[in-house]
Structure 1
Amino acid sequence: MNLYQFSDNRCLRILLANFITNIGNGLHILTVGKILYDFTGQTLSFGFVYIIEALMSITLQIYAGFLVDNYKAKNVLVFSDLLRGITVILCCLGCIYFDHVFLFIIIITFVINIAKPFYRSASFVIITKILDDEEEINKFNGFQSSFIQAGQIIGIALVGVLMLFISPYTILIINGASFSLSAICLITVKVNDNLNKYTYSNCSLKNLVPDWVNLFKQLLKNKQLLTLVVVATGDYLFVNFFNLSLAPLVSERLNNESLWLSVLDMSFAISSILPGVLWPIISKRDVNYLVLICLFFNTLSFIVLSFARAKIIILFMSFMIGGATAASNILLYTKIQFLSEQNMRGKIASMRNLLFSLLTVSLIPLVTQTQSISLSKGFVLCGIIVFIYLIIYIVAVKKNIVRF
């Protein structure tokens, strides 16, 4: 499948913007962690970044979706990228010329995580304002998934190389430039919105609660959409389970060889790209069948990892989890977009992200605590959680709640 098969070339610019901004995301997380570690001398600094992100995501998701539904998704995307880009560059210059490193890094982390919920909700919405054909949207989401993964892989790979030649602060300036370049790409995308609809008064907080109440009423009537939103939280959650398990897995099963940490992570990332590349083949299959297969393979993979010792099996299971989560995410993402009404898509995206954040905060401590007792039991617990998602979807299909 060729990228130029899209009926609208604006899709290419959005994909390019996604690719560039995710290079920035890949650069950001490792570089900030390294700066904080150098400054504090504690590995807890890496966890600090994730904790801040989860807490801020829960806090801001409610308004992010509301804003995107009542204002222009494109403007939200552009402003989010510009805010991140300018803040990162200015704070890095502050780190270089002033002796307040920790303060500036806190500001960077704070601003980036303020922008992220708004960016995610707007990304979910903007393509539906350009394309109205489900097959085209499906194709776009497949490519977008691949571009996001490829961008993050390149960003993470670049960090190690760049740190050999330049300081972490200079890398973060490049990170800021990537966000700004993404904003420029998005500025060139023309979106035909109804200008009369979008006013600042629509985004007033007094309309926030009624908007969300209306959404919940709609979801209670549309059980298919509600089920898909709930099940779609699993794909992000399973990725977190895998990432949490990497370090103890390498330590206990692979002789603590750091090379295997990169090998397994790269295997997962490459397999996450493949569903987008192979989408012409995948899209010919029944959606329910594919989602069920993906959930089954994820369940199987975590259970097998609970007892696997052979390197080739561990590598294959990592590959399988990456591909299955990516394929399921693309399928569910598109169906949710297509089934959602135009004026509620931003809140739908925020609701999915909010549910994911709440599940992360509640389940991750349970998984990590279980892993600290026994890695095998930790993997079994992950498998059980994925299996619950599988049962939910099977019941929904059997009762004809989910039907395509």
Structure 2
Amino acid sequence: MENSFGAWKQPIILLTSIGISGLGDFIYLVAINLLIYQMTGSAAAVAALWVIGPIVNVLTKFWTGSYIDYRSKRKVMIGTDIVRAVLVFFIPFLPNIWLIYTVLIGISTAKAFFVPSSMTYITQLVPKNRRKRYNSIQSITMSGAFIVGPAVGGALILLGSIDTAIFMNAASFLVSAILLYFLPEKEEIDQQHAPKLSFKQLKADWNIVFQFLMAQKYIGIVYGAYVASIIFSFAMDAQEVVFTQRVVGLSEVDYSLLISITGVGAIIGGIFVSIFSNQLSLRLMIAIGICMEAVGYVIYASSWSFLSITIGFVILGFFNAFLNAGITTFYQNNVSTKIMGRVTSMFQLIQSLVQIVFVVLVGAIADIIPLRVTISILAIGMLMIAIIVTVIVYSPSKKLYFRET
């Protein structure tokens, strides 16, 4: 039976592993920001933390996929969890900020391997007919980590110290690795014949990715449009604090409450999708998810009060669960696991590059024209992308791309 515990035992272990490491990420986020500020007293030093991840992605994503696809995804995930656990553990003992930044680069590099590996391993472990429900439950765990993580981090710092929170984060990565150890190996890798990383091999691998996307243009267009919507939302999120406080006039307490409300909306959306996943088609989940998320941003862009922003945030949080579960399942069902690491890394590389440029550009434009106008343009642009995606997704001739069995 699809819903029997035996059928879900291994996916539940994987969900728990990824959920625990995700919770640790948010505990770490609170702790490392406070640690850097405590050491330097500089807002710029704290802001630099947010640049490390995208820069590392740009420098690593063009080759991580080639490494991942020729190795055991499970072992890569275990290895990166252990590396992150060790690196995080040593942060409190480092004497200066430059050594901490160096370690943070190492942590971000490990994460650059973990994300594409986990996408492929989930596809290998979870049968096609259960992926939609699995992805919706994973959306719940990540949204839960988003809400609970900072709260746990704050409590650990309050009851103990910043170091306590950091050690807890290291422990979370270790627990995640232990859980992954008990999951099965889902592929046979001939390590002796795995190609070595070289410029020639990277060029050949990128050609394989391009050939796949040329042969499967529809997959590239749908997923590429989704990535574009993420970039638009990221650019709006980067100006969120300034917009809510300076333009709308909300307090820091109001803003914190809004973030929590968004997370709760995402959790409720994930629960709804997980319960009714068999009644919701992939096309409906993607279309309604991206359209209503865009509507949420449009409401947010035109907001004038706490209530109106709350409505926008609840809508985008709730329907984000539909979009994430739908598009992830579509991607897993249509991209071969043999090249998934390379394809995922390519999309993430493009996303990181455009994100950096886009955020800087939006920040500069916001100093020239009113921020509300800037946010409104981005929200309308995202809505246009959503409408285009809906039309593409419901193309009658592309129905086979959305089969779930």
TM over 0.5: yes
Q: C-alpha distance in 1, partners of 2:229/2:80?
A: 24
Residue ranges of structure 2 left out of the alignment (5+ in a row): none
Contact 2:244 2:250 in 1 (8 A): yes
Contact 2:223 2:331 in 1 (8 A): yes
> Is 1:24 the counterpart of 2:24 in the alignment?
yes
Aligned length: 396
Cα deviation digits, residues 242-288 of structure 1 (max 9, x gap)? 53233123313554421111111011111222332112325523333
Q: Which amino acid aligns with 2:377?
A: L
SS at match of 1:384: helix
Distance 1:400-1:221 versus aligned 2 partners, 3 A rule: farther
Distance 1:242-1:272 versus aligned 2 partners, 3 A rule: farther
Show structure 1 runs of 4+ deviating over 6 A. Answer: none
SS at match of 2:187: coil
Distance 1:267-1:358 versus aligned 2 partners, 3 A rule: same
Give the deviation of 1:293 after TM superposition: 2.3
Which residue of structure 2 aligns with residue 383 of structure 1?
379
Which residue of structure 1 aligns with residue 132 of structure 2?
138
Taking only aligned residues, the RMSD between alpha carbons, in angstroms, comes to 2.3
Contact 1:294 1:327 in 2 (8 A): yes
Give the deviation of 1:165 after TM superposition: 2.6
Q: C-alpha distance in 2, partners of 1:112/1:258?
A: 30
Q: C-alpha distance in 1, partners of 2:6/2:245?
A: 45
Q: C-alpha distance in 2, partners of 1:6/1:259?
A: 45
Mean Cα deviation higher: 331-340 or 277-286: 277-286
Cα deviation digits, residues 78-135 of structure 1 (max 9, x gap)? 011100001111232x23xxxx2313321331111101111100110002222332x3
Distance 1:257-1:212 versus aligned 2 partners, 3 A rule: same
Contact 1:367 1:382 in 2 (8 A): no
SS at match of 1:192: coil
Distance 1:240-1:283 versus aligned 2 partners, 3 A rule: farther
Which residue of structure 2 aligns with residue 104 of structure 1?
99
Distance 1:185-1:262 versus aligned 2 partners, 3 A rule: same
Which residue of structure 1 aligns with residue 364 of structure 2?
369
Which residue of structure 2 aligns with residue 155 of structure 1?
149
Cα deviation digits, residues 140-167 of structure 1 (max 9, x gap)? 1111111122123222112222222322
Which residue of structure 1 aligns with residue 88 of structure 2?
88
Contact 1:306 1:379 in 2 (8 A): yes
Contact 1:27 1:156 in 2 (8 A): yes
Q: Which amino acid aligns with 1:202?
A: P
Give the deviation of 1:74 after TM superposition: 0.3
Mean Cα deviation higher: 144-153 or 252-261: 252-261
Give the deviation of 1:334 after TM superposition: 0.8
SS at match of 1:117: helix
Q: C-alpha distance in 2, partners of 1:139/1:398?
A: 21
Q: C-alpha distance in 2, partners of 1:40/1:170?
A: 20
Q: C-alpha distance in 1, partners of 2:181/2:278?
A: 31
Contact 2:296 2:314 in 1 (8 A): no
Q: 1:210 aligns with which of 204, 213, 233?
A: 204
Which residue of structure 2 aligns with residue 260 of structure 1?
254
SS at match of 2:376: helix
Cα deviation digits, residues 269-319 of structure 1 (max 9, x gap)? 112223321123255233333322222223322222233213212101011
Distance 1:239-1:398 versus aligned 2 partners, 3 A rule: closer
Contact 2:243 2:372 in 1 (8 A): no
Q: TM-score, normalised by structure 2?
A: 0.90
Q: Which amino acid aligns with 1:23?
A: L
Q: TM-score, normalised by structure 1?
A: 0.91
SS at match of 1:9: helix
Mean Cα deviation higher: 69-78 or 367-376: 367-376
Give the deviation of 1:27 after TM superposition: 1.3
Q: C-alpha distance in 1, partners of 2:223/2:142?
A: 21
Residue ranges of structure 1 left out of the alignment (5+ in a row): none
Alignment map for 1:248-327 (pairs within 5 Å): 248-252=242-246, 255-279=249-273, 280-327=275-322
